[in-house]
Amino acid sequence: MIEAMRQVTFFLSCILLSAFGLMACEEKQVVNSKPYTGPQQETYDVQVVYSDSGHKVIRMVTPVQLDLLTGDRIFPKEIRLYFYDKAGTEHTWLRADSGRYIRMQNLYRMIGHVKIENRIKQETLETDELFWSPDRKRIYTDRPVTSRTPTGVTNGTGLVATQDFKQYGLGKVRNSQMQVNDLPE
């Protein structure tokens, strides 16, 4: 009887080992997964204040900000920048349909119906793409630009401006109208 039990135990052990062996021979499937490239974080109703020596210089407002793994940020909806003087008075604002922050260059790209208004000078600038470099404190584009002042309309291609818009220059001026006062007779 003991011999019969040994044979049964041996037989069951062989079956179990064979089953484990067959399972180990199962072909493994390698899954090629693509790295995730979507946003790492989504933030809503964003307001960021940039300051210099404790004074508010710029305030950025946007309804949605997407932070990517690269450190870049996407602003898929309207983005607004408000510029302040040393007394804290808002003097200029900028708006665009959307935007993007490029971390490697510390550069903001504003896209679609970009409009800038300097309330003090009563001037507006319009273009379809604009770049803001916080490091250089410059705003620029190589796209067509329209400037409206109380004395006329200037059309050009290209713009370079200080980030406070106190000084700016247009390139390749064309089809412009200006009012000139006090001409000698």
Looking at residue 114, its pLDDT comes to 97
- Ordered by where they begin, the domains of the chain are 39-178 (2.60.450.10)
Looking at residue 95, its pLDDT comes to 97
Could you tell me the sign of the dihedral formed by the alpha carbons of 135, 136, 140, 141, in that order?
A: negative
Q: What is the mean pLDDT of each run of 10 residues along the chain (185 residues)?
A: 65 64 63 82 95 89 96 97 91 96 97 94 94 93 93 91 85 68 60
Q: Are 169 and 159 in contact (CB under 8 A)?
A: yes
Q: Are 131 and 145 in contact (CB under 8 A)?
A: no
Looking at residue 51, its pLDDT comes to 87
Looking at residue 176, its pLDDT comes to 61
Looking at residue 38, its pLDDT comes to 84
Place of tokens 């090629």: 32
Q: How far is CA 19 from the centre of its chain?
A: 57
pTM of the model: 0.74
Place of tokens 């040393």: 86
